[in-house]
């Protein structure tokens, strides 16, 4: 019996060690100089160039130049990519500024926006069924992905007409099911983004009553990287920046090559060249490093405060947050918006400037 107890104790210990080892896989990535990098992206008009760059050797070309390996991994689920980045499994991810602040930054992961690729200029829209004024939304059930950019657009829109979220009922709805949801009779109001917006607006009774054209620059689609990883591996930041602007130059060339590239991107996102052009029209792309640098020198401080306030109001800056300023945001020129002792989101134009000067 005693020996059995002893042996079961040993089994116990072994099981414990095994489980602990399994959990160590969850340990945070330790920042240091390294050669292999993983970046997550998902299907969206402003991020399709990344997929194109991966498929057409641009990624490999720049990785080889800096003697590193870069793998771009496509996530069918946008949020899962950001969660993986936050957990430390990925070195970079494509995300909006709002999600970058709410997920990795609020989760204590110091993150840097390396490149802003575009901002939404109509891609996110509030659609009403059979009504053509935003004011008609009062009292309706609104289907949207809760706590997403759509939710933000709704909050900002309501604020602009003197209403608040209390005037509507928000129903969390999966983005994959928006088009099917719109087709059901009990759905009468919806906030979503492209390509769903374009699809839904084809319906006769669908009215675009408010879109992100009215919120220029507030919804930025960016490449977000782990700050420590970036500092330890400038080569990674240089290569990513190089990839982006080479692809941008190709895409905006206005020649046959540009058309072919855009057609490929459209196809990869499930539409065609015409459909993709239509989405691009609702997207303010920064085709050049100068465009991005110029944007960061504008009213970025003010824009970030709108986002911080929304996140704070919805408890997304963490339970310890006592004000929208709880997390500090460092702008490209080094000034900090919010709490300077808790800077967890940074904008940088250092590498974009290198690109502009041709030093990459």
Partner 1 sequence: MRRLINRQPDVVVRFGLMLIPFIAVVIAYMIASEARLSANPNDKLLPGWSTIAAAIERMAFLPDQRTGSYLLLQDTISSLTRLGIGVAVATLIGGIFGVLQGLIPYFRATFSAFTGVLSMIPPLAVLPILFIVFGLGELAKVVLVAVGIAPFIIRDLALRTEEIPHEEIIKAQTLGASTWQIILRIVVPQMLPRLIDGVRLSLGAAWLFLIAAEAIASDSGLGYRIFLMRRYLAMDVILPYVAWITLLAFTLDFALRLFQRIAFRWMYRGN
Which of 59, 93, 94, 106 touches partner 1 by CB under 8 A? 106
Position 4 contacts partner 1 (CB under 8 A): yes
Kindly indicate which of the ranges 163-171, 197-205, 231-239, 292-300 contains the residues binding partner 1, using the contact rule CB under 8 A.
163-171
Q: How far apart are the C-alpha atoms of 119 and 212, rounded to whole Å?
A: 9
Position 19 contacts partner 1 (CB under 8 A): yes
Determine contact, residues 39/70, Cβ cutoff 8 Å.
yes
HSE (side-chain half, CA atoms, 13 Å) at 35: 5
Closest CB to partner 1 among residues 48, 158: 158
Determine contact, residues 360/354, Cβ cutoff 8 Å.
yes
Position 146 contacts partner 1 (CB under 8 A): yes
Closest CB to partner 1 among residues 110, 211: 110
Question: DSSP character for 244?
Answer: H
Determine contact, residues 216/299, Cβ cutoff 8 Å.
no
Torsion of CA 29, 115, 69, 78, to 10 degrees: 60
Closest CB to partner 1 among residues 32, 67: 32
Which of 54, 58, 102, 113 touches partner 1 by CB under 8 A? 102
Distances (CA, A) of 262 to 56, 119, 265, 282: 13, 18, 5, 15
Instruction: Name the minimum Å distance from CB 185 to partner 1.
Output: 6
Question: DSSP character for 103?
Answer: I
Closest CB to partner 1 among residues 102, 352: 102
Site string for partner 1, 58-87 (x = CB under 8 A): ---------------------x---x--xx
Which of 316, 331, 336, 343 touches partner 1 by CB under 8 A? 316
Position 107 contacts partner 1 (CB under 8 A): yes
Nearest partner of 112 among 350, 346, 352, judged by Cα: 346
Instruction: Name the minimum Å distance from CB 112 to partner 1.
Output: 16
Closest CB to partner 1 among residues 142, 355: 142
The residues in 169-228 that bind partner 1, with binding defined as CB under 8 A, are 169-174, 177, 180-181, 183-187
Q: DSSP string spanning 135-161? A: GGGTT-EEEE-TTSHHHHHHHHHHHHT
Position 11 contacts partner 1 (CB under 8 A): yes
Determine contact, residues 105/308, Cβ cutoff 8 Å.
no
Q: Under DSSP, is residue 328 helix (H, G, I), strand (E, B) or coil?
A: strand
Closest CB to partner 1 among residues 22, 256: 22
Question: DSSP character for 233?
Answer: -
Which of 2, 5, 274, 359 touches partner 1 by CB under 8 A? 5
Position 16 contacts partner 1 (CB under 8 A): yes
Position 23 contacts partner 1 (CB under 8 A): yes
- Tell whether the torsion through CA atoms of 125, 142, 199 and 96 is positive or negative: positive
Nearest partner of 233 among 30, 72, 56, 75, judged by Cα: 30
Closest CB to partner 1 among residues 19, 335: 19
Tokens, residue 345: 């989101």
Kindly indicate which of the ranges 23-31, 47-55, 232-240, 264-272 contains the residues binding partner 1, using the contact rule CB under 8 A.
23-31
Closest CB to partner 1 among residues 60, 141: 141
Which of 6, 8, 35, 161 touches partner 1 by CB under 8 A? 8
Torsion of CA 244, 250, 254, 260, to 10 degrees: -110
Position 103 contacts partner 1 (CB under 8 A): yes
Position 318 contacts partner 1 (CB under 8 A): yes
> Residue count at the site for partner 1 (CB under 8 A)?
48
208 sits in the region (left: phi over 0; alpha: psi -120 to 50; else beta) called: beta
Positions that interact with partner 1 (CB under 8 A): 1, 4-5, 8, 11-12, 15-16, 19-20, 22-24, 26-28, 30, 79, 83, 86-87, 102-103, 106-109, 143, 146-148, 169-174, 177, 180-181, 183-187, 316, 318-319
């Amino acid at each position: 019996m005693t020996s059995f107890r002893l042996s079961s104790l040993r089994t116990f210990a072994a099981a414990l060690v095994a489980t602990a080892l399994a959990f160590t896989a969850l340990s945070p990535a330790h920042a240091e100089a390294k050669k292999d990098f993983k970046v997550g992206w998902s299907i969206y008009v402003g991020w399709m160039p990344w997929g194109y760059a991966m498929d057409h050797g641009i990624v490999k070309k720049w990785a080889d130049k800096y003697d590193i390996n870069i793998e771009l991994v496509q996530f069918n689920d946008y949020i899962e990519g950001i969660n993986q980045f936050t957990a430390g499994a990925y070195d970079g991810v494509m995300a909006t500024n709002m999600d970058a602040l709410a997920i990795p930054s609020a989760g204590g992961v110091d993150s840097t926006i390396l490149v802003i690729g575009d901002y939404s200029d109509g891609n996110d829209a509030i659609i009403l069924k059979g009504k053509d004024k935003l004011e008609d939304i009062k009292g309706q059930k609104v289907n949207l992905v809760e706590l997403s950019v759509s939710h933000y657009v709704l909050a900002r829109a309501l604020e602009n007409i003197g209403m608040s979220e209390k005037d509507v009922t928000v129903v969390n709805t999966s983005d994959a099911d928006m088009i099917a949801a719109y087709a059901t009779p009990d759905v009468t109001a919806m906030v979503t983004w492209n390509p769903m917006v374009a699809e839904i607006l084809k319906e006769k009774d669908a009215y675009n009553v408010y879109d992100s054209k009215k919120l220029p620059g507030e919804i930025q689609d960016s490449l977000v990287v782990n700050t420590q990883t970036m500092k330890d591996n400038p080569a990674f930041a240089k290569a990513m920046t190089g990839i982006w602007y080479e692809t941008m130059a190709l895409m905006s060339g206005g020649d046959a090559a540009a058309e072919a590239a855009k057609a490929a991107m459209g196809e990869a996102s499930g539409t065609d060249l015409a459909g993709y052009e239509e989405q691009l029209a609702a997207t303010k792309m920064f085709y050049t490093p100068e465009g991005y640098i110029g944007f960061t020198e504008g009213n970025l401080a003010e824009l970030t405060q709108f986002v911080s306030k929304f996140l704070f109001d919805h408890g997304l800056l963490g339970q310890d947050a006592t004000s929208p300023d709880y997390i500090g945001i460092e702008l490209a020129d080094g000034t900090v918006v919010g709490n300077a002792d808790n800077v967890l989101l940074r904008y940088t134009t250092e590498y974009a400037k290198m690109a502009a000067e041709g030093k990459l």
